Amino acid sequence: MQTPSLDNVTVLGAGVLGGQIAWQSAFKGKNVVMYDLHEEGLAHCRTAQLRYADIYMQDLGATEAMIEQARARLEFTTDMAASVAAADLVIEAVPEVPDVKTAVYRELAAYLPDHTLVATNSSTLLPSQFAEATGRPEKYCTLHFANLIWALNVGEIMAHPTTAEATLQAVTRFTIEIGMVPIPVQKEQNGYVLNTLLVPMANAAQTLVTNGVSTPDYIDRTYMIMNRGCTMGPCGIMDVVGMTTLYNIFSHWGEDKKDEQMLKNARYIKENFIDHGKLGVHTGEGYYTYPHPSYQAEGFLDVPDLTEVDHIARIALGA
Ligand SMILES: NC(=O)c1ccc[n+]([C@@H]2O[C@H](COP(=O)([O-])OP(=O)(O)OC[C@H]3O[C@@H](n4cnc5c(N)ncnc54)[C@H](O)[C@@H]3O)[C@@H](O)[C@H]2O)c1
């Protein structure tokens, strides 16, 4: 039997990632309903999608007509029951807080049509943590996307012990149809492949900043020189991920692993960014200011001019 195409998609949570998943899916021809608990979340999402439209035209060669067609395939609602009434696939992208996700799945279970598959976009949590709450464990798995979905196009697919093979086949087909390279994860592991690499790197960079050992521009300069050709370093990546999600990840795993440094890093992010409305690229400011962060400036990786000597020596003195 041919694997069915999942054409009607509902995305729960219209934040950084939910908005990107919805936009990319609509751009690739899926009918998408974007659900959020808050009208404000939907409003932010619409604004973000205006930016995505520009990026798709400038970087991906999308035409006005393609953008209009994508827009026409998108709906927005705060009514969960209505949002999933016709869904073949629901992708959950609500905050990285286990209790919030569990509550959303329990509410969702009452509204889902029988055939609907459910996937979590969680960055670090396991599908087996939530499988029972969905009321349909065999139709549930992880489908994890990366931020800047149009350029960093991976879709990590991870089962839990009772996910059905048919679910994985349909989700894999969907992943390919929306232009992602599927990354099958062979067993459950928090963080999958991508965040097993990314979270320790972000935590290490944040530790250097929190403890006053280095500054974002020098951390990113080091990384970008060591990985010539890459477009940003760890602090730039943190801005892309967004301070809210980083805070949630550092708080959750800091508590879980009794990691004092990680908890200190979470506090630093809250006090220096979140409390000031600086949530990263999404709000125009985080470690850098956007749309022209200094790490993109010409000469960022160049050997400095000799006029910089005193300034650099003062930094090395800890002044
Ligand atoms: N930001 C990233 O780089 C990234 C990358 C991959 C995966 N993820 C994962 O995607 C999920 C969402 O992360 P994000 O960065 O988009 O978060 P975000 O904070 O940008 O957005 C979360 C959205 O969920 C909404 N929301 C809150 N409670 C809700 C509820 N009960 N029901 C419905 N909507 C609710 C909020 O209004 C907000 O619009 C998390 O699991 C995160 O780990 C994030």
Nearest atom in ligand 1 to 147's CA: 3
Ligand 1, atom 3, lies closest to the CA of 241
The per-residue pLDDT for 2 is 84
Q: CATH assignment of 195-316, given 3.30.365.10, 2.30.38.10, 1.10.760.10, 1.10.1040.10? A: 1.10.1040.10
Nearest atom in ligand 1 to 40's CA: 37
pLDDT over threshold 70, residue 1:
no
Nearest atom in ligand 1 to 18's CA: 16
Q: Is 125 helix (H, G, I), strand (E, B) or coil?
A: coil
What tens digit of pLDDT does each residue of 70-122 get? 999 999 999 999 999 999 999 999 999 999 999 999 999 999 999 999 999 99
d(CA 246, CA 203): 9
How many C-beta atoms surround the C-beta of residue 113 within 10 A? 11
Distance 123 CA to ligand 1 centre (A): 10
Ligand 1 pocket member 122 (CB < 6 A) = yes
Q: What integer is the mean pLDDT of 208-224? A: 98
Which residue from 10, 11, 12, 17 has its CB within 8 A of the most atoms of ligand 1, so it is best to mutate? Answer: 17
Q: What integer is the mean pLDDT of 189-199? A: 93
Distance 95 CA to ligand 1 centre (A): 4
Contact predicate 180/98, CB 8 Å: no
Averaged pLDDT of the chain: 96
Residue length of the chain: 319
Closest CA to 127 of 154, 101, 160: 160
Dihedral, 71, 74, 77, 83 alpha carbons, nearest 10: 170
d(CA 15, CA 13): 6
Q: What integer is the mean pLDDT of 249-276? A: 97
Ligand 1 pocket member 155 (CB < 6 A) = no
pTM to 2 decimal places: 0.88
Contact predicate 147/240, CB 8 Å: yes
d(CA 192, CA 189): 5
Burial of residue 47 (CB within 10 Å: 0-12, 13-18, 19+) is: exposed
Q: What integer is the mean pLDDT of 203-232? A: 97
Q: Is 92 helix (H, G, I), strand (E, B) or coil?
A: strand
What tens digit of pLDDT does each residue of 139-192 get? 999 999 999 999 999 999 999 999 999 999 999 999 999 999 999 999 999 989
Parse the chain into domains and list their residue ranges. Answer: 8-185, 195-316
pLDDT band at 319 (very low <50, low <70, confident <90, very high): confident
Task: State the distance between the two ends of the chain, measured CA to CA, in whole angstroms.
Answer: 69
d(CA 181, CA 172): 9
d(CA 183, CA 143): 9
Ligand 1, atom 11, lies closest to the CA of 93
Distance 228 CA to ligand 1 centre (A): 32
d(CA 288, CA 156): 29
Ligand 1 pocket member 17 (CB < 6 A) = yes
Closest CA to 202 of 159, 255, 250, 167: 250
The per-residue pLDDT for 282 is 84
- H helix intervals, the chain: 16-27, 39-60, 64-72, 80-84, 98-109, 131-134, 165-177, 194-210, 216-226, 234-241, 243-256, 260-272, 309-316
Ligand 1 pocket member 156 (CB < 6 A) = no
Contact predicate 250/290, CB 8 Å: no
pLDDT over threshold 90, residue 66:
yes
Contact predicate 57/81, CB 8 Å: no
Q: What integer is the mean pLDDT of 212-238? A: 97
Which residue from 23, 34, 36, 124 has its CB within 8 A of the most atoms of ligand 1, so it is best to mutate? Answer: 36
d(CA 27, CA 56): 9
Ligand 1 pocket member 13 (CB < 6 A) = yes
Closest CA to 153 of 123, 183, 173: 183
The per-residue pLDDT for 124 is 87
Nearest atom in ligand 1 to 38's CA: 37
**Fold (topology level) of 8-185:** Rossmann fold (3.40.50)
The per-residue pLDDT for 123 is 87
Distance 97 CA to ligand 1 centre (A): 9
How many C-beta atoms surround the C-beta of residue 288 within 10 A? 21
How many C-beta atoms surround the C-beta of residue 221 within 10 A? 17
Which residue from 52, 96, 147, 239 has its CB within 8 A of the most atoms of ligand 1, so it is best to mutate? Answer: 96
Q: What integer is the mean pLDDT of 49-53? A: 95
Q: Is 205 helix (H, G, I), strand (E, B) or coil?
A: helix
Ligand 1 pocket member 163 (CB < 6 A) = no
Percent of the chain with pLDDT over 70: 100
Ligand 1 pocket member 20 (CB < 6 A) = no
